[in-house]
């Protein structure tokens, strides 16, 4: 049955989460701004997504009742991602352990888990709105980090800030190309068939 696959996903989620929370790993990833935002953040989201994959089907249905067309989940992911782009949020999380814990939980659940349970139900328009907002925002944040005349974060040197800005812009660009490319290549290229409500 699919029970063992779900159990595997749950174990993987916990393992990934624990690995990221381990003090040496945390210190390593949070020491460099690029690693912090472009490695730790996505990995936390991945742990959340794995947790979603490990959900028993009854739970999925219950969540779906509050998340028609994945709208609530996509909104949650967008809001959470935006919050953690605030320079002050990054700085404060490095100084206050409870805020760092909140960061772990909110990125895992609020972004990873939320996206995982909302992506399929969302359909083309929902995903389009989500990506169409988030990707430009990522690029603008990256540009701000790059172009700001001062250091935005007290904890990171200007060189790191600029490198992070460049990396964020690059990530946004790559993601945009991948998304748009999907319309022209493979399954996306075929005309959309009417879809039954997905679970």
Report the interface residues with another protein, using CB under 8 A. Answer: 65-69, 71-72, 75-76, 79-80, 82-83, 86-89, 91-92, 149-155, 157-158
Closest CA to 8 of 54, 41, 49: 54
- Interatomic CA distance for residues 126 and 120, integer angstroms: 10
- Interatomic CA distance for residues 47 and 112, integer angstroms: 7
Count of CB atoms within 10 A of residue 116's CB? 21
Q: Least distance (Å) from another protein to the CB of residue 79?
A: 4
Nearer to another protein (CB atom), residue 6 or residue 32: 32
Structure token pair of residue 131: 């990506």
Please answer whether residues 111 and 145 qualify as being in contact, where contact means their C-beta atoms are separated by less than 8 angstroms: no
Nearer to another protein (CB atom), residue 14 or residue 155: 155
Question: What sign for the dihedral angle of Cα 86, 87, 93, 96?
Answer: negative
Nearer to another protein (CB atom), residue 8 or residue 96: 96
- Interatomic CA distance for residues 21 and 108, integer angstroms: 12
Q: Least distance (Å) from another protein to the CB of residue 24?
A: 20
Q: Least distance (Å) from another protein to the CB of residue 162?
A: 13
Q: Least distance (Å) from another protein to the CB of residue 14?
A: 25
Nearer to another protein (CB atom), residue 82 or residue 133: 82
Nearer to another protein (CB atom), residue 97 or residue 149: 149
Nearer to another protein (CB atom), residue 83 or residue 183: 83
Cβ neighbours of residue 133 closer than 8 Å, sequence gap 6 or more: 78
Phi, psi of 81 (to 5 degrees): -60, -45
Q: Least distance (Å) from another protein to the CB of residue 188?
A: 26
Q: Least distance (Å) from another protein to the CB of residue 149?
A: 8
């Amino acid at each position: 049955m699919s029970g063992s696959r779900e159990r595997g996903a749950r174990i993987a989620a916990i393992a990934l989460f624990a690995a990221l929370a381990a003090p040496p790993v945390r210190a390593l990833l949070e020491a460099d701004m690029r690693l912090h935002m472009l490695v730790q953040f996505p990995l936390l989201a991945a742990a959340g997504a794995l947790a979603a994959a490990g959900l028993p089907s009854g739970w999925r249905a219950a969540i779906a009742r509050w998340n028609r067309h994945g709208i609530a989940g996509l909104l949650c992911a967008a809001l959470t991602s935006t919050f953690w782009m605030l320079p002050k949020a990054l700085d404060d999380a490095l100084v206050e352990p409870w805020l760092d814990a909140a960061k772990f939980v909110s990125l895992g659940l609020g972004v990873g888990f939320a996206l995982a349970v909302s992506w399929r139900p969302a359909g083309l328009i929902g995903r389009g709105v989500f990506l169409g907002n988030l990707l430009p925002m990522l690029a603008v944040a990256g540009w701000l980090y790059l172009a700001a005349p001062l250091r935005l974060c007290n904890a990171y040197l200007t060189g790191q800030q600029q490198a992070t800005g460049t990396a964020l812009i690059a990530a946004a660009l790559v993601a945009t190309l991948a998304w748009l490319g999907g319309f022209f290549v493979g399954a996306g290229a075929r005309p959309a068939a009417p879809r039954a409500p997905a679970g």
